[in-house]
Structure 1
C-alpha cells in the first residue's frame, strides 16, 4: 500500500510542490467537505495533526446541523482526526494553480474510522464478501447534463444553446462539445479515473460515461465521487455548469447511475456464469435478493426529493422491482448469463446517490439473496409474469420504510440508519416548508 509521503513525492516529482492540498471528505449526501492545507504541510496530514468535526459527515443537504443525529453543537461537536487515502492523491488540472487533491476520512475518539464514513461502510460490506471467499466485480455508468451558467442558485437550468431535444447517440452533439469532452477524458487519465466510453444521452446536453469494470470496488465508488467533482470543475472553467441532479428537466429523461455486478470465487471464476439457457442458481439468488430489498433500500438509491421524479411512467427509469434478460425496461437487467460477462445490471440509482452507500446496498441485497438462497420472480418476458408492486413514489414513505427495515439494519446497522434517517427527515422538512412558484401560479389568484 502506498504511503501518504510516497504519494505526495510522486506528485511533486511530476508537477513540483503543490500550492495547496485539498482534503475531501464525502458526507452522507455525497457532498465533499474538508479543508485546504498549505502545500508544504504534508507532514501535518501524515502525522494526524489535521482535524475536522465528526458532525461534518451528518450535515443536511443545506449544510445545517441536524440535532436529531445527536451530533454537532448539542454534543459539543468533537473533532475527528483526518486520515488520508493515499491512492486517491492526484493533480487538479482545471485549477488555476497547482493543487493536490486527496480523499480523507475521520477517526473518532476510539481511533476507529467514524461509523458515519460512507467509505468505511462499503469496506465492511466488502469484508463480508471476503469472508465468503468471494470478490465482487463492478462497473458503473453515470449520466450528467451540461447546462448554461445560472445567475442565482434558485434559477432553473437551461440546456446548451442549439442542443437537440433528443440527442441519443448523436455524434454531432458530441462534436459540438468536443473540446470539453476531450478535456474530461484527458483529465480522467491524469487522475487515474478508468473511463471507458462517452456517449450523448437522450436529453438536451446530456452525456453518459461508462467506467471499466474492476474488482477494486472501493476505487469504483471513489471514481464516481471524483468524476462528478472533476466535471463540474472543468465546465466551470469553460463558463458553463454541469449537474448530476436526478431529474433537472421535468419533460426530459433524468440522470441515472447504473451498476453492473458479477461475483468471482477464490479461483477467479465468475460464479454467476451458467452453461444452460437460464440464470445460474447463484445469479438467480442474487437477482432475487436485490429485488426483494429494493423497496426497503430505495431511500439510499433515491436519497433526495428530486430523486423521486425519475420514477415516472415512460421516463426511462424503472418504476417496479422486476428483472429481465437484456431488457432495458427492467429494474434489474441481465445483459449476459454465461462466461466472464455474466452479471446483473442495477438500474434504480439516480446520479445524485452516495456511491459508497449505493454499492453497499446493492451488494447487501445480493448477499441477502445468496445467504437465503432466494428464488427470483418470473422475468418480464415470461408470459405468466404479473406486475410487481411499484417502487415508492413518496419520499417520506421511502425514508420511513428504510428506517424500520430489517434488511437495512442488517446491512447498515441501527446507529447508522438512525443518523441517515434523521438527515433525510431534516431535508424533507427543509424542502416541504417553502411555498413553491407552482402553488402561487395555480392558487394565489383563484382562492
Structure 2
C-alpha cells in the first residue's frame, strides 16, 4: 500500500534549513486540528546507546504529554544496549528508581505513515524534578550534553551548521526463531554479490521502498536529500540537508533511522544499521558535516586567513581528542571491526583536504560551504553524543588555538599517523581516564558511560565464537 503523496521540500541543496520557530503550548491541539486525534502517540526517548525507549499513549490523553509530561525512570539511562540494568552505574533500585519528567521536544510531533493505524510520534527529553519544585535537565540525557556544547559555542559568537549522512543495509527478516537476517543483494548483474558503488540499477532494484522513504521523510518534515547506492551490495546512504540548528540535526538523524526501519518493515524487509554486518564488505558509517556560522550570518571558516586559522584550530582539536572520545563514535563491539585499512573507514588520527581516507576531511566545494566532515562514527552511534563530542573537540582546538599536523595527501592508510584503537576495552579505558571528557561531559556522565560500555565489552569477551568451536572442539 503506497504512502500518502506529499510535496517535495523546496530547499536548495546548498541552503541550510533554519530551525523551526518554537511552537505554542498547544502544539498537540494544532496537530489534532490538522490530522484528527491519533489512535496512539508514540513517545520516544533515545537512551544512552541511541536505542528508542518510551510508551504508547492513547491519542485521547495526548494533551497530558504537553501538560504534565511523561514519567519515565531516570535509570533508563543506566540500561545496557540490550535493555538490562547495569547495576554498577548506581542509579537503579539503590536510588529508589525515581521517575524523571520527560518533556516533548518542540517540532518533533509528526505522523507515523508506516503505522497500521493513525499514529503520531514525538521525541522526549528528560528532566529531574527538584525537591524545591521545578525541574533541571537530567545530566545523563545525551540531548543535554549536546545542548551544553551548543551553548559554549554560542558564548563565542559561533553557531554550528550540521548535516548527517547515514548508511545502512537492507536485509531479509530472520527465517525463524534464533535465525539471523539475511542480506539483500540486488540482482543487478550475474555472478556473486560484489561491490557496485553508485549503481543506478541497485537503486532501481528497490525503487519502491526508497521512494517510500523519501515520501515518509517529506511527510514528517525530515530534510532528506540524496539517496545513493553505497560501497557494498544492498547498502544505501541517505543524506540530510544542513541545518542551522544542531539539536534538530541530531534529532533528524535519530528519527531518520526509525523511519528507514519502519518503511523497510512495511515492505517485508529489515534495515540494519550495524556498523560491520559483513567482513567482506564495507561497514556502515554516520558522517557528520559541521561548519560554524558567525554572528553576521556568514560561514566563519570562509573568511580568508582568519577563517582558515579557525578551521585548522577546530581540526586540531578533533585530532587531539579523538582517542579519548573514540568510544562515543564507535560505541559497539562490532563497530571496531569497521575500522580496517582500505575500507573508506578511517584507521588513523588524521586530517586532509578532499581525502576520503582520513578521519577529518575538508570536502571540496565553494568557499562559502567550507566545513569539516567527521568520518569515524558508525551508523549505530548516538547522533547527539557524536555531535556533542565533535563540537567539544572543535572547541578544545579553538579555545587553545591548537595547530594540526600537515594535512595528509594520498592514501592515509599508508601514512605515518597515530592509529585509532581496534580494541573496545582500550577505547573505554581512554574515555574513563580522560581529563578532556570530564571537562566536556562531566565526571558523572564519564563514569556512568564508561561503566556501561565496560560491561558491554565484557559481555562479548565472555562469549566463545563459532570459529573457536570449529577449530578446537
Same fold? TM cut 0.5: yes
Q: Distance in 2 between matches of 1:69 and 1:59?
A: 9
The equivalent residue for 1:179 is: 208
The equivalent residue for 1:123 is: 147
Q: Distance in 2 between matches of 1:337 and 1:195?
A: 20
> Secondary structure at 1:280's aligned position in 2?
helix
1:346 and 2:366 are equivalent in the alignment: no
1:10 and 2:39 are equivalent in the alignment: no
Shift of 1:5: 5.0
1:215 and 2:244 are equivalent in the alignment: yes
Matched-pair contact (CA < 8 Å) for 1:147–1:242: yes
Q: Give unpaired runs (5+ residues) of structure 1.
A: none
Matched-pair contact (CA < 8 Å) for 1:279–1:337: no
Matched-pair contact (CA < 8 Å) for 2:185–2:233: no
Q: What CA deviation, in whole Å up to 9, does each residue of 1:332-366 have, x standing for no partner?
A: 11114862111111111111110000000000010
Matched-pair contact (CA < 8 Å) for 1:274–1:338: no
1:418-433 correspondence runs (5 A): 418-433=447-462
1:226 and 2:255 are equivalent in the alignment: yes
1:417 and 2:437 are equivalent in the alignment: no
The equivalent residue for 2:18 is: none
> Secondary structure at 1:367's aligned position in 2?
helix
1:303 and 2:331 are equivalent in the alignment: yes
Matched-pair contact (CA < 8 Å) for 1:308–1:394: yes
Q: Distance in 2 between matches of 1:219 and 1:153?
A: 38
Matched-pair contact (CA < 8 Å) for 1:144–1:208: yes
Q: Distance in 2 between matches of 1:50 and 1:343?
A: 38
Shift of 1:49: 5.2
Q: 2:159 aligns with which of 135, 145, 163?
A: 135
C-alpha spacing 1:49/1:347, structure 2 compared with 1 (3 Å) = closer
1:93 and 2:121 are equivalent in the alignment: no
> Secondary structure at 2:321's aligned position in 1?
helix
CA-based RMSD: 2.0
The equivalent residue for 2:392 is: 364
Q: Distance in 1 between matches of 2:74 and 2:24?
A: 22
Q: Distance in 2 between matches of 1:428 and 1:77?
A: 25
C-alpha spacing 1:74/1:298, structure 2 compared with 1 (3 Å) = same
Q: Distance in 2 between matches of 1:264 and 1:162?
A: 42
Q: Distance in 2 between matches of 1:235 and 1:5?
A: 34
C-alpha spacing 1:189/1:70, structure 2 compared with 1 (3 Å) = same
C-alpha spacing 1:90/1:355, structure 2 compared with 1 (3 Å) = same
The equivalent residue for 1:29 is: 49
Shift of 1:39: 0.4
How many equivalent residue pairs?
Answer: 443
The equivalent residue for 1:381 is: 409
> Secondary structure at 2:137's aligned position in 1?
coil
Q: Distance in 2 between matches of 1:253 and 1:153?
A: 28
Is 152-161 or 296-305 further displaced after alignment? 152-161
The equivalent residue for 1:329 is: 357
The equivalent residue for 2:233 is: 204
Shift of 1:216: 0.7
Q: Distance in 2 between matches of 1:101 and 1:314?
A: 40
Q: Distance in 2 between matches of 1:382 and 1:185?
A: 36
The equivalent residue for 2:173 is: 149
Matched-pair contact (CA < 8 Å) for 1:4–1:84: no
Matched-pair contact (CA < 8 Å) for 2:175–2:181: no
Matched-pair contact (CA < 8 Å) for 2:28–2:63: no
Is 330-339 or 288-297 further displaced after alignment? 330-339
Shift of 1:141: 0.7
Q: Distance in 1 between matches of 2:107 and 2:194?
A: 40
Q: What CA deviation, in whole Å up to 9, does each residue of 1:7-66 have, x standing for no partner?
A: 222322332110011110010000000111110102321222531111112200111101
Shift of 1:274: 5.2
Matched-pair contact (CA < 8 Å) for 1:260–1:346: yes
Q: 2:290 aligns with which of 261, 267, 273?
A: 261
Q: Distance in 2 between matches of 1:77 and 1:155?
A: 35
Q: 2:95 aligns with which of 75, 87, 92?
A: 75
Q: Distance in 2 between matches of 1:303 and 1:256?
A: 12
> Secondary structure at 1:208's aligned position in 2?
strand
Shift of 1:311: 0.9
C-alpha spacing 1:124/1:49, structure 2 compared with 1 (3 Å) = closer
1:66 and 2:86 are equivalent in the alignment: yes
Q: What CA deviation, in whole Å up to 9, does each residue of 1:265-287 have, x standing for no partner?
A: 111121211547x9811111111
Q: What CA deviation, in whole Å up to 9, does each residue of 1:153-172 have, x standing for no partner?
A: 75344221544421211001
Q: Distance in 2 between matches of 1:412 and 1:237?
A: 39
The equivalent residue for 1:281 is: 309
Matched-pair contact (CA < 8 Å) for 1:272–1:337: no
Q: Distance in 2 between matches of 1:153 and 1:196?
A: 37
Q: 1:20 aligns with which of 26, 33, 40?
A: 40
Q: Distance in 2 between matches of 1:279 and 1:308?
A: 34
1:30-45 correspondence runs (5 A): 30-45=50-65
